[in-house]
Structure 1
């Protein structure tokens, strides 16, 4: 069926193209043009630079090793939670996914305080390292270890979703035929999970490749510099050719990320196994008498990876000076008073992050609704535009956030022609960068919901005389609104806590939560960094709890930890 776009429908399609050009094509195109405009000479020069070569190899090393470790940890946890009869699955899934929502720099701050010589928790236990010894996390192993903890929930989420789609009859037939756990996993489960395992590794790899907070706080003191940190250093150093050099470095990182995503798609197609049949309830392997032991092990894992650093974070925020033991005599709320009341920068940061993340979540939810509507429609031009924007969103999400910020600096460093309006060093520029970096998060649930709608609904309304706007408002919007709301909340949670995108875009008056915490820790104000991090974690938990409550009225799988 071929349809023409009359009136408001054509205007909506044009606006989608205009927004896509402004926040995707123009910034990323300018980045590639700046990097390639000087030919191959800068690439050859950078390839011969020892600092660049080490940073590139360190990025590959940390992303590959931490991605593999995150895959192993996440897959094991998903198998325990998804395939067994362990109790408290909802609570465990919520707690296991919580580190993913905590900002990476907050994770780094928490673990620095948890394992250092001045650790309050280790001090209580009498096992703190001696004062003056090197911090164990300031090393390659520390960076890789925290990247694993940060991104294991991503692999856990992907594999857990895949386990729900396993054909139960194949597994039961193998067990009936005498296959033991090892052979069952090797011959049945792993081949069926191969595409999801590849996706989980690629997601962890790309996320680690663009991570800035953990390598900046742990790698720099340990002499383990990665590409995002090197880009940040180069841009902070200024110079006549700094933007061109940084654009070249950013392009190298962007191309690597896109290549990994492309390799992921090829491997998934190669390992794909076609399955037929209706959905079935997930397999539940009885743990029997061993269930209390497995439950205790899972509790210890959550306590070690979540409660230990958070307890150290809170304890550090409650002392007047870092290193002072926490007791009833030394406990104080002065640090919380400073970041919440006395100092203006933290208060502005909370307001700016709330405003920028909230506006981005709202705009992306509305934009995702329109894009998904055209992408799932029957008109060829609409499908092409919707599909093209979806591809741009996926590519932009794969590109590290620091590269996205460089692209926006290149475009908006000078005032906008004709308008004379300057967006550089403003919160508006951070907001626009959020649109580019996080559209894929808001678009995925809406696209899935729109793909399940029957075109007959739109056709019936069209025959009855309803225009495009009325069909969107009365039919399409009510059906996809829950998924759009879920995507918007996930966008807000991600943007609210980020530091990678805004690390190069913030300025005085346009601080974000992430940059303020990073600057506190980098400047030696550890107790203030801990206090602000504690407030941020508390806000994140509250927002996730609200999303969890909203998820009770949404279809299964819309909220990640509600299965």
Structure 2
């Protein structure tokens, strides 16, 4: 079908969107990577990059990144595949609740997950200590190690594998499994010999996504690795900037480039897996589980509770104690820590800043995503495809890379106005906009493809202007998806740490920064109280999104069928 000729209004809209993406995304990334290719002190080409890559600290951090990431992927894959098989292939009475709890590590912020596991596994654990299972007093927390980092990151990224494998299992044709049953093949052999080979490409794809998330993770390596002297690239970048400031821009840009290349290779491998290795399945009715397994369901609940709720319970119990080392009980538990953090002006400011940043980011992302999706459906050309790829880049590459790009792009005063936004909330807003736009654009674009293009064409023929067609005809159809995307942005940005850790300044603290700073200072009970409050906010937003879930496009909310 021939596309209608673009109007002057559409040309202007495309130009404005290109300018927006160039300012928020393209220029910071170009500026970052250009800094990595500077000459060395002796004037040698690529001297700065070569000296940084050959340094002992870089090699140690690179080794730590690869080891912790690969180990965490092993944990994520093992747990994700097992849970996906159980939830998808068995008839479970509590499937919806189990699915939500399995995906909880994806909803809970990284630093909160790390802090929760620290409180659960330490010598003063309010849960393990009364049971006699906690480490001896005075010993180092076992999670302050490479294995500990990999374990916690593996649990955090497990839902990524679970989602990929479960999607493949839900597309499994029922005829295939029924034929195997008729032939008398045992269920275990059906799983190993028929189902697993079919879903293996999804297993590999999910594992590669988990690897991409692991190499860019900052919260877990910062809270577990810095005390345990385990260096990874994200924490090395943070420590370099925190210790030496923008003077080390070229060195940390090189480290960021390494992270970006690793992420790009993982994404490329994932695309090859999904396009070259994926098994084409015959059309047919999807597989519907018929076999009940009460014992396995009970075991599933035990595993999921340990993975998702028990650490949060330990975190909450710690927040109710007056100080670390005090035994938890009716006489010691109180709300004093919650009152203290809420009375703390800096903490209140951090909550206000995070709410402002998250809501502003969500609103602007919706304003940008709606016309982008409109043009994406109406105008399929190279420029829009290129724009879509650039928009995805800040979400795909590690957040540390995005933050460094923002520092280098906006450190100097802006042209014309002569004012630098470095050290202000404006740089955080720009970084959030670049990072989280895909969270809104994906569901909006999916909803846009299901709209009827003839309505827009009829309105255009009738003389309706571009703005009226978007607001009156296009927007009502994709508004539920835009709302869901906005909620996802608020949920994610509310406790963001990776960007904020490098971009915050005095007076512009965020919730994630406060949790990290309080724990880093040794004030574990206050850090736990702030983390619990922020988690309750996220869960409340998840509940609101779930209530509106029936009106949303399928797949918008990962925890809903």
Indicate the TM-score class for this superposition, using the shorter chain for normalisation.
over 0.9
Deviation at 1:316, TM superposition (A): 1.0
Matches of 1:557 and 1:260, distance apart in 2: 23
Name the counterpart of 1:81: 87
Name the counterpart of 1:343: 344
Matches of 2:353 and 2:185, distance apart in 1: 57
Q: Does 1:295 align with 2:297?
A: yes
Q: Structure 1, residues 318-355: CA drift from partner, whole Å, max 9, x if none? A: 11111111222222322111211x21111111111111
Name the counterpart of 1:311: 313
Name the counterpart of 1:439: 437
Listed as ranges, the matches of 1:168-187 within 5 Å are 168-187=174-193
Listed as ranges, the matches of 1:90-239 within 5 Å are 90-238=96-244
Matches of 1:343 and 1:354, distance apart in 2: 17
Matches of 2:389 and 2:113, distance apart in 1: 31
Q: Tell me, what secondary structure is at the counterpart of 1:535?
A: helix
Name the counterpart of 1:362: 363
Listed as ranges, the matches of 1:263-412 within 5 Å are 263-275=269-281, 277=283, 280-287=285-292, 291-340=293-342, 342-377=343-378, 379-380=379-380, 383-412=381-410
Q: Tell me, what secondary structure is at the counterpart of 1:120?
A: coil
Name the counterpart of 1:415: 413
TM-score, L = length of structure 2: 0.95
Worse overlay, 209-218 or 419-428 = 419-428
Listed as ranges, the matches of 1:37-76 within 5 Å are 37-38=38-39, 39-76=45-82
Alpha-carbon distance change, 315 to 26 in structure 1, aligned in 2, over 3 angstroms: same
Deviation at 1:162, TM superposition (A): 2.6
Alpha-carbon distance change, 323 to 391 in structure 1, aligned in 2, over 3 angstroms: same
* Runs of 5+ unmatched residues, structure 1: none
Deviation at 1:269, TM superposition (A): 1.2
Q: Structure 1, residues 283-309: CA drift from partner, whole Å, max 9, x if none? A: 21403xxx2211111111122112221
Deviation at 1:48, TM superposition (A): 2.1
Deviation at 1:182, TM superposition (A): 4.3
Deviation at 1:21, TM superposition (A): 0.6
Name the counterpart of 1:31: 32
Q: Does 1:505 align with 2:469?
A: no
Deviation at 1:100, TM superposition (A): 1.1
Name the counterpart of 2:42: none
Matches of 2:28 and 2:451, distance apart in 1: 34
Contact 1:339 1:531 in 2 (8 A): yes
Contact 1:371 1:389 in 2 (8 A): no
Worse overlay, 59-68 or 175-184 = 175-184
Deviation at 1:421, TM superposition (A): 2.4
Deviation at 1:213, TM superposition (A): 0.9
Matches of 2:368 and 2:282, distance apart in 1: 34
The RMSD of aligned alpha carbons is 1.8
Q: Structure 1, residues 50-91: CA drift from partner, whole Å, max 9, x if none? A: 211111111112112212321221121111112210111111
Deviation at 1:223, TM superposition (A): 2.2
Q: Tell me, what secondary structure is at the counterpart of 1:386?
A: helix
* Runs of 5+ unmatched residues, structure 2: 40-44
TM-score, L = length of structure 1: 0.95
Name the counterpart of 1:253: 259
Name the counterpart of 1:547: 545
Matches of 1:16 and 1:37, distance apart in 2: 31
Matches of 2:358 and 2:383, distance apart in 1: 26
Matches of 2:397 and 2:93, distance apart in 1: 39
Deviation at 1:240, TM superposition (A): 7.9
Q: Structure 1, residues 343-398: CA drift from partner, whole Å, max 9, x if none? A: 11111111111111111112112212221221222x35xx3333222212322212
Matches of 1:234 and 1:344, distance apart in 2: 29
Worse overlay, 360-369 or 15-24 = 360-369
Matches of 1:13 and 1:62, distance apart in 2: 43
Deviation at 1:525, TM superposition (A): 0.8
Deviation at 1:276, TM superposition (A): 5.5
Alpha-carbon distance change, 83 to 365 in structure 1, aligned in 2, over 3 angstroms: farther
Matches of 2:375 and 2:174, distance apart in 1: 36
Alpha-carbon distance change, 147 to 356 in structure 1, aligned in 2, over 3 angstroms: same
Contact 2:76 2:155 in 1 (8 A): yes
Name the counterpart of 1:520: 518
Contact 1:375 1:385 in 2 (8 A): no
Alpha-carbon distance change, 457 to 173 in structure 1, aligned in 2, over 3 angstroms: farther
Worse overlay, 361-370 or 113-122 = 361-370
Matches of 1:183 and 1:393, distance apart in 2: 44
Matches of 2:477 and 2:410, distance apart in 1: 38
Contact 1:258 1:395 in 2 (8 A): no
How many residue pairs match? The answer is 555
Q: Structure 1, residues 446-497: CA drift from partner, whole Å, max 9, x if none? A: 2222223343332222223222222212221111111111111111111111
Alpha-carbon distance change, 447 to 153 in structure 1, aligned in 2, over 3 angstroms: same
Contact 1:441 1:490 in 2 (8 A): yes
Matches of 2:492 and 2:276, distance apart in 1: 32
Alpha-carbon distance change, 7 to 174 in structure 1, aligned in 2, over 3 angstroms: same
Alpha-carbon distance change, 177 to 453 in structure 1, aligned in 2, over 3 angstroms: farther
Deviation at 1:108, TM superposition (A): 1.1
Deviation at 1:227, TM superposition (A): 0.4
Matches of 1:395 and 1:418, distance apart in 2: 28
Matches of 2:390 and 2:186, distance apart in 1: 45
Contact 2:209 2:270 in 1 (8 A): no
Matches of 2:287 and 2:369, distance apart in 1: 31
